Amino acid sequence: MIYENAKQTVLQAYGAEAVKSFVLTMSTLRLERAITAGTNQYTFPILKNDPSGGGAFNTEIRLKQQDTFIVSHMSMYIGIPTGATDTAWLPLTYESPFLTGANAIPMRALWSGDIQITINNIVYVYNWDLQRHYFAPITQQTAALGAASPTDSKRLIEDTFVPVEPTVAFSGAKDNLIQLNLDAAPASFTANARIGLMFRGVNAQNSTPVS
């Protein structure tokens, strides 16, 4: 169904020959922003060649300028890496008191707000509430990993991933504006913390030159 929806989206955007000539592949976009004190609005650059915000983290997956990405599912998460280049961490779907300590309650503010997606000045996603992406697992880490303290139970194939219907098509040739708006900035947060958005769907390779 995801693939068929993507073909229909490409068909409507580019015409019948596009489905034959473009390579459609299952794919992912992963966008991240460092949490900043006092900030309650975050804009997520989506293109690989976008230098805004100091460039992409090494854990991000951005869109090539010549491609189109048709979204099927979206997730919002937080990350607690040890630094800007750390890759040995997993997305958190809740505030994780063991990892965030005294910042756990303030960081719940990160799930109070909404997402808005605008493409070429047309709003496709409006007032998408962040709370639909909150998932506190039954088993939670309470100490350093070991026999007496298991890791969080999670299935990142599904936890916090929500279907996007009607779908959204990001294009490397268009103005894609992704904004996350918090009701209020968290009063405190763990060092190096990030907010992340992950999109899963179908990527139409080399599709934008004919648009």
CA distances in angstroms from 197 to 44, 146, 172, 179, listed in the order given: 8, 30, 18, 10
Which residues in the chain come in under a pLDDT of 70?
Answer: 1-21, 209-211
Instruction: Let me know if 46 is exposed, middle or buried by CB neighbors in 10 A (0-12, 13-18, 19+).
Output: buried
Report whether 207 contacts 66 (CB < 8 A): yes
2 φ, ψ (degrees, to nearest 5): -60, -45
Instruction: Establish if 146 belongs to a structural domain.
Output: no
Arithmetic mean of pLDDT over the chain: 89
Domain assignment present for residue 14? The answer is yes
Domain-embedded: residue 70: yes
Residue 102 lies in a domain: yes
Q: What's the pLDDT at 52?
A: 83
CA distance 85 to 25: 28
Query: Do the domain assignments include residue 100?
Result: yes
* pLDDT at 168 (0 to 100): 94
pTM for the model stands at: 0.88
Residue-range definition of the domain harbouring residue 198: 2-137+153-210
pLDDT, position 146 = 74
Q: For residue range 9-28, what is the model confidence (pLDDT) as tens digits?
A: 665 666 555 556 678 899 99
Residue 147 lies in a domain: no
Residue-level pLDDT at 6:
60
Residue 143 lies in a domain: no
Domain total in the chain? 1
Determine the pLDDT at residue 8: 66
Within a domain: residue 69?
yes
